[in-house]
Amino acid sequence: MFNKKNTIYLVSSILLCLIMLASIQWGAVSITNQQMSDAIQHFFQGKAPSSIYEGVFLQIRLPRVLLCLFSGAILSVSGVFMQGLFRNPLVEPGIIGTSAGAAFGASIVFVLAVYLPLEYKSLVGPLLVPLFAFMGAILATFLVYAVSKSQQKTNVLSILLVGLAINAMGLSGMGFMTYLARDPQARSINFWNLGTFSGANWQQVLIVMSLLIIVIFSIFNFIKPLNALLLGEEEALHLGVNIKQFRRKILLINTIMVAIVTSFVGVIGFVGLIVPHIVRQFVGSDHKKILPASMIIGAAVLLLADLLARLLLAPSEIPIGIITSLVGAPIFIFLLKKNLFIKSDA
């Protein structure tokens, strides 16, 4: 009944559920199955949590796990989108500077919001942060894209070098904001450089979940163009893909994805690189299979990284970006060695 193709979905889904369960139960405070079911029962009966454990489960652990799950899926899909668009297995939002751009945009709001008149302050968090993150991300994306298109023949190296420069720009921008900031904010910006899920709340979960649902529905229209792009931009055009329109659409949705996730949890590098790479080993290059598998495996990978971030030095926490970079960088070097001399476009 299960062929090889379905096995990957089955195995990764089971794995995801196990990691999710572990992520909910393990941590600075351990939560038992009994406490979990009590908390859910009490929640649906409209009663207040009967113990501190139920409170931790409902207000801290569960939103954190869900935010991490959805963010992992989104960052991985973003990696797939960018690799497809640039025709290059080495790009992802962390590496080519999209995330750094988003983080810089968001840090501007964080620091300068202090100077806003009081009556606007309630608007600041939910609206301005993602908006500025979006502007930073889109600027970074267009810089990379413009450079990669300005030459007749783009090679992998030039995209990566531009990404490096944009990352440095984003980082120095954030550094400057840290310098301007008053102390508590400065610490939160620093933490953000490396990403963290420690501030997760239900509002963020709902926003990221809605985003993921929109992405899932729009994916159906991206499968054929992304596959056709494997052959080259000209080939995709001859296969009926309106390349200009498609490029605008996918860049827009990708930038929104990266901006929202980054404005909530900071820069988490390499997930968008590692996950599609793993997925391709199992399902090949058809985006009909790559996209759903990347979501499941991306969610599992990021949850695992977050679990490690919480457990390695428990009860204190390591920023999750340290874990993902530690694992991702060697894979990046391996891929770099394999792909550096492939020309990414004709």
Partner 1 sequence: MLKLQDIHYNIGGKQILSNVNVQFTPGHLHMILGPNGSGKTSLMKIASGQIEKFQGLVSYDNLSIKEITTAALATYRSYLSQQNNIPFPIKVIELIQMGRYPHYEYQATTKDYEIIHEIIDQLEINHLQNRDFNTLSGGEQQRVQFARVLAQVWDKTLGKNRFLFLDEPLNNLDIQFQKYLLQTIQKFISDDMVVIMVVHDINWALAYADKVYLLKEGNLVAQGKPTEVITSSLIANVFNVNVQIINIPGQKHPIVAF
Chain residues in the site for partner 1 (CB under 8 A): 83, 87-89, 220, 223-224, 227-228, 230-232, 234-235, 237-242, 280, 284-286, 339, 342-344, 346
Cα 7 from Cα 18, distance rounded (Å): 16
CB closer to partner 1 out of 52 and 230: 230
First to last CA, the chain: 42
Name the minimum Å distance from CB 177 to partner 1. 37
Indicate the helix (H) or strand (E) that contains 62. Answer: helix 62-86
Q: Residue 343: beta bridge partners?
A: 155
CB closer to partner 1 out of 146 and 230: 230
Cα 223 from Cα 285, distance rounded (Å): 11
Name the minimum Å distance from CB 287 to partner 1. 10
C-alpha closest to that of 81 among 265, 256, 240, 210: 256
CB closer to partner 1 out of 79 and 266: 79
Name the minimum Å distance from CB 336 to partner 1. 13
CA dihedral 233, 234, 236, 240 (to 10 degrees): 140
C-alpha atoms less than 13 angstroms from C-alpha of 261 in its C-beta half-sphere: 34
Name the minimum Å distance from CB 85 to partner 1. 12
Cα 227 from Cα 15, distance rounded (Å): 28
CB closer to partner 1 out of 35 and 88: 88
Name the minimum Å distance from CB 81 to partner 1. 14
CB closer to partner 1 out of 23 and 88: 88
For residue 308, which amino acid is it? L
Name the minimum Å distance from CB 73 to partner 1. 21
CB closer to partner 1 out of 91 and 129: 91
Name the minimum Å distance from CB 91 to partner 1. 11
Cα 337 from Cα 281, distance rounded (Å): 17
**DSSP annotation string for 138-185:** HHHHHHHHHHHHHSSS-BHHHHHHHHHHHHHHHHHHHHHHHHHS-HHH
CB closer to partner 1 out of 22 and 331: 331
Indicate the helix (H) or strand (E) that contains 68. Answer: helix 62-86
